[in-house]
Structure formats: C-alpha cells, structure tokens
Amino acid sequence: MAKIGDLDVGEFPLLLAPMEDVSDPPFRALCKEQGADVVFTEFISSEGLIRDAAKSVMKLDIYEKERPVGIQIFGANLESMLQSVEIVEASGPDIIDINFGCPVKKVVSKGAGAGILKDIDLMVSLTEAMVKHTNLPITVKTRLGWDENSIKIVEVSERLQDVGCKAISIHGRTRAQMYKGDADWAPIAKVKNNPRMHIPVFGNGDVDTPERAMEMRDQYGLDGAMIGRASIGYPWFFREVKHYFETGIHIAPPTMEERVDAARRHLQMAIDWKGEKLGVFETRRHYTNYFKGIPNFKEYRMKMVTSDDASSVFEVFEEALETFYDYDFS
C-alpha cells in the first residue's frame, strides 16, 4: 500500500494530475466518482497567492468529496513559497505539492516549474524549507531533467527524499522535450529501484490505456500512475484502468447517455463554481473528448464550443442525446 506521510492512498493509486484550466473542482469531482484515488488542483502561483490575485486564490477551493486532495504551488522565491504554504494550509488540503516540472516558457523564465531543474541545489533547499514550515506532507512533481544531457533524477529524487519530501511524481520527459516524443519510464524505474528510496514513486506521461497503466505497475514496478491528458473530457479512464486491473478485460465504454449526463453535470458544476461566462467558456475543451469518435457529430460539437450562454449548450446536449442515443462506442 502506498502512503504519503500518514495518508494511505491505496495499492497502486491513480492520481489526477494538476492541469492548468482543467483540474478544477467540477472536473476533480467527476474523476473522483470514476475512481481517481488522489486528485490535485491546478498549479497555483506562489506570487499570485501572496498578492491575493483572484484567479490564484480561487484555485484554493477544495471540497470534502474530493479527499484526499493536494494543492499544487509553484515558484522559485523562498520567502514567497513559504508565505504561500501558510495560505494553502488555511484551505485544509491533505497534501501540498510543489511543481518542479511545468515546461511552459512563462513559468520557466522565472526559474520556477521545470526551470528549477537548472539549479538542483535550490530545488532541494526550497523543498527542505517548505517541509520544515508545515505539518502537511510535501510532495514533488518534476521531470527527468532539463535536457537529455542533464538527467540526474535518481540523485535528485534521493536528495528530495532526504530533506523530507513524502512522495515524488516524475514525468518521463525532459523540459527540452516539452510534450513531444515518447515518455521514458526507465529512469523513473531506476529511481524506484534505488535501494535508498522508501517514499512512493509515481509515474507520469503517456499513461493513455489500461494496458499502459498495468505496464507501469508490473513491468516498471512504480507505486502508482499520475493521469493527465488521457482524462481530459474522459473521467471514465480511471474506472477503465481499475476494471482492467481487476479482471484483465476492458469494461464497456460509457454510453451516450452517460456522456451527456457527465457533460451536463460538468457544465452545471462549473457554472455554480465560477459563474456562467467562465463556466461555459472553460468547460469547452472537454467536449471533444466527451463525444469523441461519433461520426457526423461536428455540427453539435461546433454549437457546444461556440454558444456563449449555458441554456444553449444544455439544449445542444439534449439534441445530441436524442440523435445519437443508440450509438455504439465499443
């Protein structure tokens, strides 16, 4: 059983990755219902938190039904990170996660996210200071290294563990790769197989089928899988992986009725949480995956992603359900 500090997260837990403009409370709720064992918030700027920026503060919203839930923060300034820990603590998460892996230029250029992979000593000292500043378990999400010539993830992981990090999630690409090419899980397995490591090591990157999740568990021996892109607009991915683990066969994909129900609930929760305008706009990215593979669906999808008021989108959901009710997704 994997444990993050004193928190039991189960045998080979499936974790919802922190994804900007994706891993918000409505989406986390849907993933939790479908079997996600641990969910993480969108990544939150430490500078935004200490400036009381509305968008950053809103991301701190968490709900009891999500637990265990981790709040992820990023930054490169020690004082700001420590202040943000105090702000995050007030929201009552189960875990505080540090983002040392975001490859986006606007984050990296400030020395944060994957930018800190150029300064491993700072990465370690920031982690140590945050561990000492809170009683909540501190975890880290990172990448293999800055580029293929600077992969020192075995050493880095051990050093992070030694200063009190309670778990580490590793994306199997370097920052230089961004999201291109295939994720390489072999270096992550080396971290896990390091006899000095005793904290959970979770794998991330290209876990896009139940078979790949099983490969990460059985062939690479990791402690759990962090799921990102495969879950966008498809919270059933967690259910499918768990069913495959238990039975060795694929569960039937969600029906059209299930898909419309999820899309409807997702949109309503988003509206309830952030208002109609933002709720309608920020839920659009999920619709392509909710209704992926349906022939002649373009007309409905275009209406979903161009309608500016909720009532119009809800109407399209009902039209789509009526038209494609019997569509076989298998």
**Which is the catalytic residue, given 38, 76, 96, 102?**
102
CA distance 313 to 304: 5
Residue 230 is classified by DSSP as G
The terminus-to-terminus CA distance of the chain in angstroms comes to 33
Locate 150 and state its tokens: 């600077």
Own/partner pairs, 57-61, CB within 8 angstroms, 24+ separation: 58/274, 59/24, 60/87, 60/88, 60/91, 61/25, 61/91, 61/273
Residue 253 is classified by DSSP as P
Own/partner pairs, 248-256, CB within 8 angstroms, 24+ separation: 250/210, 252/329, 252/330, 253/329, 253/330, 254/329, 255/329, 256/320, 256/321, 256/324, 256/325, 256/326, 256/327, 256/329
CA distance 262 to 266: 6
Residue 102 is among the residues annotated as catalytic for this protein: yes
Collect all residues with Cβ–Cβ distance below 8 Å to 144 and sequence separation of at least 6: 151, 153, 170, 171, 172, 173, 174, 184, 187, 188
* Catalytically active residues, by annotation: 102
